[in-house]
């Protein structure tokens, strides 16, 4: 059971380049999330998808787009990367509240992105 899988694990981009971070979960979770982690700032929510077919903005959505491709997959796209987007990106998933009482998040291993 792989849990939450993110690719790539490491990426270096030049300013203005685009890329997509991929995330897949095999736990039959309904909700999926993208966070970024920067030193001293905890995790900040970029976008989330409460269920297949829906996406919503989080705290820091500017410069990003997302696609909930199906129930398993949730991708994060940087259209024109900027140095301020250098960060560690985490994908996470969980059951919706109504399906599972604990509702805890399960995280992928992270994707370390550097924008030069």
Partner 1 sequence: ELKVEQNPLFLSMQEGKNYTIYCNYSTTSDRLYWYRQDPGKSLESLFVLLSNGAVKQEGRLMASLDTKARLSTLHITAAVHDLSATYFCAVDDSGFNKFYFGSGTKLNVKP
Binding site for partner 1 (CB under 8 A): 31, 33, 35, 40-45, 48, 50, 58-59, 90, 92, 96-97, 101-110
Q: Contact, 12 vs 114, CB < 8 A?
A: yes
7 forms bridges with which residues in the sheet?
A: 22
CB 20 to partner 1: min, Å: 20
Measured from the CB atom, the residue of 38 and 79 that comes closer to partner 1 is: 38
Nearest residue (CB) to partner 1, 14 versus 102: 102
| Partners of residue 33 on adjacent β-strands | 48, 92
The distance of closest approach from Cβ of residue 18 to partner 1 in the complex, given in angstroms and rounded to an integer, is 25
> Least Å distance between CB 115 and partner 1?
19
């Amino acid at each position: 059971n792989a849990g939450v899988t993110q690719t790539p694990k490491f990426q270096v981009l030049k300013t203005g380049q685009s890329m997509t971070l991929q995330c897949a979960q095999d736990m039959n979770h309904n909700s999926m999330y993208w966070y970024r982690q920067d030193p001293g700032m905890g995790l900040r929510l970029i976008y989330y998808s409460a269920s297949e077919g829906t996406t919503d903005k989080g705290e820091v959505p500017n410069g990003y787009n997302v696609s909930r491709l199906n129930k398993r997959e949730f991708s994060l796209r940087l259209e024109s990367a900027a140095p301020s987007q250098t960060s560690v990106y985490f994908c996470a998933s969980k059951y919706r509240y109504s399906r599972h009482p604990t509702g805890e998040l399960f995280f992928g291993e992270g994707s370390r992105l550097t924008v030069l």
